[in-house]
Amino acid sequence: MMKQILTVIPARYASTRFPGKPLAMIAGKSMIQRVWERCGETAQRTRVLIATDDERIRAEAQRFDAEVIMTPDNLQSGTERIAWVAERVKADVYVNVQGDEPLLPPATIDAAIAALHAHPEADIATASCPLPDPQGISSPNTVKVVTDAAGFALYFSRAAIPHAREAGNGIAGTGVYRKHVGLYVYRRSALLQFASLPPSMLEQVEQLEQLRALEHGMRIAVAEVSADSQAVDVPEDIERVERLLRDETERTSN
């Protein structure tokens, strides 16, 4: 039975495509604040910690009373940052919520935590949502996932998986394509093991870190959720997120 759950939001200032992204303003609030607030709305009510290597992000986190920890600036990924935290802040389970997901539904976080709880044999849990859009199916920027009958990940890819061998057979409309929603829930031992492994071949080919876990025999449970999310990768995404946020506010107020 899971005891203590720690949600960690890794946030770095340096970004090739969007420097200072965590501090970008979205409808009057910084993106890091909006992600932190989403994490605080989960049914699990986990402890939420922002992990950063930048004093500007720490100052912003402290402004809205978030718990924050400073990490070294030579860590290569958000996973390494969370593993560094795990060696110093003890918990049974660690939730990795990326700092560029201001619209991540709290229910999706809960579903991924529940998936790990439901599968004692799972090392990691994540989530997926329907992908009906043909453009998303073919886009290398949209990560797809396929699972086995028990709900464990078989593979993640930027390619359209599964491949419809016969064009026009209607498979694309059956819900067979699933978009990977990029959050992870780790058992502590699995997180530390994963972070200690060298980058794998498939991981480097696809540029998808989660393939390292699969290549080393780790099991990833995938919770199926209905709601998508919208990450912020480039400055142009801010306007899209603000529009979606307005739509969300209108739906909840009606």
DSSP string computed for 31-43: HHHHHHHHHHTST
173, 162 in Cβ contact below 8 A?
no
How confident is residue 17, by pLDDT bands cut at 50, 70 and 90? confident
DSSP state letter for 201: H
Q: What is the mean pLDDT of residues 229-252?
A: 89
Rg (CA), the chain: 18
pLDDT tens figures, 190-239: 999 999 999 999 999 999 999 999 999 999 999 999 999 989 988 999 99
User: 67 forms bridges with which residues in the sheet?
Assistant: 49
pLDDT at residue 15, as a whole number: 80
14-to-8, 46, 49 alpha-carbon distances in Å: 18, 28, 19
Indicate whether 172 pLDDT > 60.
no
* Side-chain-facing half-sphere of 49: CA atoms under 13 Å: 23
CA dihedral (96, 101, 107, 110) in degrees, to 10, reads: 0
Give the H/E segment covering residue 9: strand 5-11
Q: Percentages helix, strand, coil for the chain, rounded to the nearest 5?
A: 35, 25, 40
Query: How far is it, in rounded angstroms, from Cα 44 to Cα 64?
Result: 21
DSSP state letter for 199: P
Tokens standing for residue 82: 């969370």
* Side-chain-facing half-sphere of 160: CA atoms under 13 Å: 16
Query: How far is it, in rounded angstroms, from Cα 34 to Cα 206?
Result: 30
* Structural domains of the chain ordered from first start: 1-102 (3.90.550.10), 105-228 (3.90.550.10)
31, 24 in Cβ contact below 8 A?
yes
pLDDT tens figures, 22-78: 999 999 999 999 999 999 999 988 999 999 999 999 999 999 999 999 999 999 899
**Of 102-106, 140-144, 220-224, 250-254, the least confident:** 250-254
97, 7 in Cβ contact below 8 A?
yes
Query: How far is it, in rounded angstroms, from Cα 42 to Cα 185?
Result: 14
In the chain, the amino acid numbered 213 is A
pLDDT at residue 146, as a whole number: 97
Write down how long the chain is. Answer: 254
CA 104 to chain centroid, in Å, comes to 9
pLDDT tens figures, 86-138: 999 999 999 999 999 999 999 999 999 999 999 999 999 999 999 988 899 99
222, 184 in Cβ contact below 8 A?
no
